[in-house]
Amino acid sequence: MGVIYILWLREIKRYVRSRVQIVVSLGQPALYLLALGFGFGPVFAKAGGGSYLQFMAPGVIGMTVLFSSVFSGIAMLFDRQFGFLKETFVAPVSRLQIMLGRTLGGATVAIIQGCLILVICLIAGFRPAHWTAIPVAFLFVIMIAIVFAAMGTALGSVIQDMQGFQLVMNFLVLPIFFLSGALYPLSNLPPVLTWITHGDPLAYGVDGLRGVLIGTWQFSFPVDMLLLGILAAAFLSTGAYLFSRMEL
């Protein structure tokens, strides 16, 4: 059994065993979907946007994957001072292996969460343009999960305490979500906002999901995929670097 595999497996086991946490972490996106999806529905339709549930379901999937994957990385904060991370740090294995095992584990958990929320979307009445779109959408879910799990690992390597954790959640993760176009179309925004939203990594993930699932593109398939690929590579290497420099 490999080192990366067993650390990956640990993340999966932790996830599968905490059933309460699964329900809790799906509760928030489900609430967004139902409260906003149905609540804003009439306004959105009146403005000529069509079905708001159709529009926002891919955004909610993106949001679920974002929160779940970033959180898995930042949760390292708790493993750090008091837990299990030390045990892996003194073992005769490279930091890169530890980092990859953890990050891929976190990404896998986020992918599972994304799939579960897709099922909830389908139950709530969301219908993809075509059923064959789902496997392609799955590709985007994987990309988003890897990008943000790597970002989480990078952040988890530098954050020392709870204040840092809250800082990141409020001033990084939430803006990434709200400025990604998950909840509103990115077209016809004020120039500053357009500029900011185009710098948001999740914007390309959400656009990919939405494009594939309901056929509405802001950018395009190659642009989304390419940018997510570059971001994944960049965050993975940053994460690996910061993780390798971590001192306990």
Q: Which residues bind another protein (CB under 8 A)?
A: 1-3, 6, 10, 13-14, 17-18, 78, 81-93, 160-162, 247-248
Q: Which is nearer to another protein, 119 or 162 (CB)?
A: 162
Residues belonging to the chain = 248
Question: How deeply is 74 buried, as exposed, middle or buried, from its count of CB atoms within 10 A (0-12, 13-18, 19+)?
Answer: buried
Among residues 110 and 186, whose Cβ is nearest to another protein? 110
Nearer to another protein, 122 or 158 (CB): 158
Query: What is the Rg, in whole angstroms, of the alpha carbon atoms belonging to the chain?
Result: 18
> Residue 99 CB, nearest distance to another protein (Å)?
14
Residue 65 CB, nearest distance to another protein (Å)? 22
Question: Residue 76 Cβ, how far from another protein at the closest point, in Å?
Answer: 12
d(CA 15, CA 12): 5
The answer to whether the CB of 57 falls within 8 A of the CB of 126 is yes
For residue 244, the minimal CB distance to another protein (Å) is 12
Beta-carbon contacts of 59 under 8 Å, excluding residues fewer than 6 positions away, are 180, 181, 182, 183, 206, 209, 210
Q: Which is nearer to another protein, 192 or 248 (CB)?
A: 248
Given the complex with another protein, which of 81 and 194 has the nearer CB atom?
A: 81
> Sign (positive/negative) of CA torsion 34, 36, 42, 44?
negative
Question: Taking each helix axis from N to C terminus, what angle separates 19-31 and 52-74, rounded to the nearest 10 degrees?
Answer: 140
Minimum gap (Å) between residue 156 Cβ and another protein: 14
